[in-house]
Amino acid sequence: MNHWKLTLSYDGTLFHGWQVQPELPTVQGSLALALKYVTGESVLPQGSGRTDSGVHALAQVTSFALETSIPPANLQRALNRALPPSIRILTAELVDESFHARHSARRKTYEYRIFERRTAASPSERICSPFLAPYAWDCRWQLAIEPMQEASKYLCGTHDFTSFAASDPERGLREEESDDANGKAHGPNPVKTLLQAGWAHEDGLLVYRVTGSGFLHHMVRNIVGTLADVGRGSLAVDEIPRILAARNRTAAGPTAPACGLFLHSVEYDPV
Amino acid sequence: MNHWKLTLSYDGTLFHGWQVQPELPTVQGSLALALKYVTGESVLPQGSGRTDSGVHALAQVTSFALETSIPPANLQRALNRALPPSIRILTAELVDESFHARHSARRKTYEYRIFERRTAASPSERICSPFLAPYAWDCRWQLAIEPMQEASKYLCGTHDFTSFAASDPERGLREEESDDANGKAHGPNPVKTLLQAGWAHEDGLLVYRVTGSGFLHHMVRNIVGTLADVGRGSLAVDEIPRILAARNRTAAGPTAPACGLFLHSVEYDPV
């Protein structure tokens, strides 16, 4: 068997998320179809983690094994021909069989992009271009970056992020979106470590970039929704420790829209 | 009656063009629905011209009359709330009743965007980002800009553009897309004047910008497809006069994909 690691970028707008679902267009499903078309083999590529409906990826990572022998550049080209333009394979490489896109992941970075209709520089309402709308949260409030930056500092380090995890009444309190090694076997571990997080103004957008050892389901979108409450002045910066301590989803702010979220990159140990 | 002129931008990806069609999402249809929702009135807004399925607009112009009296800023805001994020009203103004988005148009500018997989600077294949794919032609050839620039010069001025017009076997040889004053009444006039046209490298794209008194159906996409043939070396620059003289669609090159085309702006006489 040949073991593969692919990085891929996708526009999540028209996909029902990463994970394969019957009758619905998903990234994993499209990739499986393209692999079948190119190699004749039926494999389900594993992602570094799931992304939800409408969430994008700049560099998702996937792994799978094939019987077929094919040079990496050829597999990449053939898959890009078979896939829709909304999914592009950026790199394809042969890896050791111990490599697993989810289990081997060490750090993951997400990026969240906000378009502000009102800014300090232009207090009258700006209009979010139709060409930007699928890739940013068109936020009606003017957001003050400094308090959001301060509030974000409280989240860095190791915490129980239960307050920022999706609570799913049917399948338990929260669900692991991603890559925690103990994930599936022992139930999701709500304790995660954020290694780096911060806001920046970039190209007229307000961008949040956050790197962590792992993330719970909806965790980045719930963090951004809560920090936006801080930015618009409806939540005090020093409420963040209380929200963390509550270990209850209702303590935190709303979930920011999916379209602003990008899986930026996934890091692995060097081989 | 209050007479209105609106400029609007739209992402054409998911619309079946400008013109209203039963059961299909169109820009004109969405706008009519939003106007009905906001004012209660049933009006069909007139565009400066039709755009095809998948063609975008940076600044389309539309006109219509309403009984309702409403301040321009309020109409703009209410329409933007009622419309999908893929259509944005950029400006709204009250105009004289003689104003008509199509009949009053004097010049129109289109922009066509090409992503080149192979360029002189990067001869190995570049990958068109999924976030760019809906807004550019992902062109497999390396294109030489100088001969395309030379070929474009032959098209400037007043010519019979029959060779670059969509030939429609059911409805006659070609159909007016747009704004020629004699259009509907006397059948399309294939003689058009291109006032300015040229290629430029912009943000990693090859961009064609063309300004004319009016355009035939598919004219810009057929011009770009033909100039791309020149750019990749399969058509000689000095074939362009022969193609114009042929007055036959089969003489020119292929139609470039819709997704690369943007209606850039429409100009009117100052009032």
pLDDT in tens, A152-202: 999 999 999 999 999 765 554 444 444 444 444 456 799 999 999 999 999
What's A127's domain CATH number? 3.30.70.660
CB A28 within 8 A of CB A47: yes
Check if A270 contacts B (Cβ < 8 Å). Answer: no
> What are the tokens at B230?
């020149």
End-to-end CA distance of chain B: 19
CB A197 within 8 A of CB A143: no
| Residue B115 and residue B17 share a domain | no
What's B76's domain CATH number? 3.30.70.580
Q: What is the pLDDT of residues A107-156, one digit of tens each?
A: 999 999 999 998 888 878 899 999 999 999 999 999 999 999 999 999 99
Q: What is the pLDDT of residues B104-158, one digit of tens each?
A: 999 999 999 999 998 888 778 899 999 999 999 999 999 999 999 999 999 999 9
Residue B148 to residue B116: CA distance in whole angstroms: 14
| Residue A122 and residue A241 share a domain | yes
A46-60, A63-77, A108-122, B68-82: which range is least confident on average?
A108-122
Residue B96 to residue B91: CA distance in whole angstroms: 16
**What is the extent of the structural domain holding B23?**
2-94
> What are the tokens at A165?
């995890």
SS3 A194: strand
Q: Given A64, A94, A124, which residue is the final one in a domain?
A: A94
Check if B125 contacts A (Cβ < 8 Å). Answer: yes
* Mean per-residue pLDDT over chain B, rounded: 93
10-residue stretch averages of pLDDT, chain B, 271 residues long: 97 97 96 98 97 97 97 97 98 97 97 93 89 97 97 98 83 45 60 97 96 96 98 97 96 97 96 68
- B11–A130: do the CB atoms touch at under 8 Å? yes
> For A90, which of B77, B88, B127 is closest by C-beta distance?
B127
A86: nearest CA in chain B?
B130
> What are the tokens at B115?
């992503």
Q: How many domains does chain B divide into?
A: 2
CA A151 vs. chain centroid, Å, equals 21
Q: Given A66, A94, A122, which residue is the final one in a domain?
A: A94
Could you list the active site residues of B?
52
CB A80 within 8 A of CB A240: no
End-to-end CA distance of chain A: 19
| Residue A137 and residue A201 share a domain | yes
| Residue A57 and residue A27 share a domain | yes
Contacts of A130 in chain B (CB under 8 A): 9-11, 56, 85-88
Check if A129 contacts B (Cβ < 8 Å). Answer: yes
Please report, for residues A77, A147, A208, the alpha-carbon distance to residue A197 in angstroms, rounded to integers and kept in the order given.
Answer: 35, 14, 7
For position B90, what pLDDT does the model report? 98
Residue B110 to residue B127: CA distance in whole angstroms: 25
Residue B196 to residue B184: CA distance in whole angstroms: 26
